[in-house]
Amino acid sequence: MSAVKGPALHIKQNTLSMLGKERGKSQKHHQKQEEALNILSSQIPPMQFPHFERKRQTATSVSREQGMDSIHVSKRQRKLLKTSPPINHTNINFSLSSSSPASSSSYSSSSSASSTSSNLASDYFSPDIMYARRKLVKEICAKYKSNISKTITPHHVKHLYVEDKYMLLYCQVPKAGCSNWKRTLMVLAGQAPNAHSIKHDTVHYGHHLKTLDSFNHQEIMHRLETYTKIMFVREPLERMVSAYRDKFENPNNYYHSLFGKPIISKYRANPSSEALKTGSGVIFKEFVQYLLDVHRPVGMDIHWEQMNQLCNPCLIDYDFIGKFENMNEESDFVLRLTGAPPNVTLPSFKDRNPTDTRTSMQLTQKYFSQVGMLEKQRVYDFYYMDYLMFNYSKPFKDLY
């Protein structure tokens, strides 16, 4: 089967037509383009700039995203990448080949992109950034995942949520805005008048949204070939700390029972009978021990699984890779681009444990001060592919 490429996402203003060609709605889509281009004027923090945009940063800005023009990986890191958890496969007879950076027809050349960026956007965001993010993922996949099977199975698409009306596929990454994205998909599908009226349990346990693995082979392939595919990522250690806080520092019978009990039993010296009975009170150091243990007493969970393992970007050619750190601006841009009504925007409220302080990098550093340097390094190594693929810089200066 030929390589599957996402809808065109051209850089030039007069060719920003990611959806129109497949749908034959050129006039209507032209209006969507104009709306999308208006979104480009909204400012996005400099952290997201690729290397060729860095000259626009102010002297006081702090960037956690690295330059995209070169990728340096040490021998030790290369070894880590080679031994990183493989993508799972099952023998199902249909395939999707990732398009290579060189052969992708979805974009203009980088030189063309650079020459038109000033006409398209403000100093803080341009389609150059979307192009650079996708290009980087393709380069990392080509370097370190080129030997994986190109066969797409239902397993690989089980985290992709389907919205047929607006031809949208969203890969959920927990702790990176996925609850509010699911709410927005429900609104787009006409299942609720607005996102704020949808409760947390309705979002996650109401079975109102379909995942792509619920379709047959032909239906899966059709949607992968023609729908807009998006995912949002977050600074990996910050996401991991957010997951720990949510599941272990707050009342949660499911996680305390399923994960807390075996974690306390294995990693705590002289645990109390109450702790063993309830599984409550897992401290951060114990959670880190569990995460790094090759013989974990209980398996992985979607909330702290690596993002590249959840969404399989080396197999699925995502049209838009957004950043949680700029969620408001970037979600608005992609919604306008897919033709969502102007009044539909991604909510920003925090519905679980709303009184808790949001997890920031400063708070993440505070949590990691509770573990030793070796553990800190090993957690970074565990998420290293996410750091490399989604272009986040080292969270701590003393990492190598």
pLDDT of 119 reads 33
pTM of the model: 0.73
- pLDDT average, residue stretch 188-213: 80
More confident residue, 100 or 222: 222
Joined together, the tokens standing for residue 65 give 């995203």
Side-by-side strand order, sheet with 320-323: 210-211, 160-163, 168-171, 228-233, 320-323
What whole-number distance in Å separates Cα of residue 271 and Cα of residue 21?
Answer: 62
Rounded mean pLDDT of the chain? 76
What whole-number distance in Å separates Cα of residue 397 and Cα of residue 400?
Answer: 8
- pLDDT average, residue stretch 255-265: 98
pLDDT at 285 over 90: yes
| Pairing of β 160-163 and β 210-211 | antiparallel
pLDDT of 181 reads 95
- Residue 380's φ and ψ, nearest 5 degrees, are -60, -45
**Is residue 189 within 8 Å of residue 163, measured between CB atoms?**
yes
pLDDT at 19 over 90: no
Range in 54-68, 106-120, 232-246, 269-283 the model is least confident about: 106-120
Range in 62-76, 238-252, 327-341 the model is least confident about: 62-76
List pLDDT tens digits, range 354-364: 778 899 999 99
Q: Which amino acid is at 310?
A: L
pLDDT of 17 reads 42
pLDDT bucket at 230, cuts 50 / 70 / 90: very high
Q: Which of 393, 341, 319, 336 is nearest to 42 (CA)?
A: 336
pLDDT of 199 reads 74
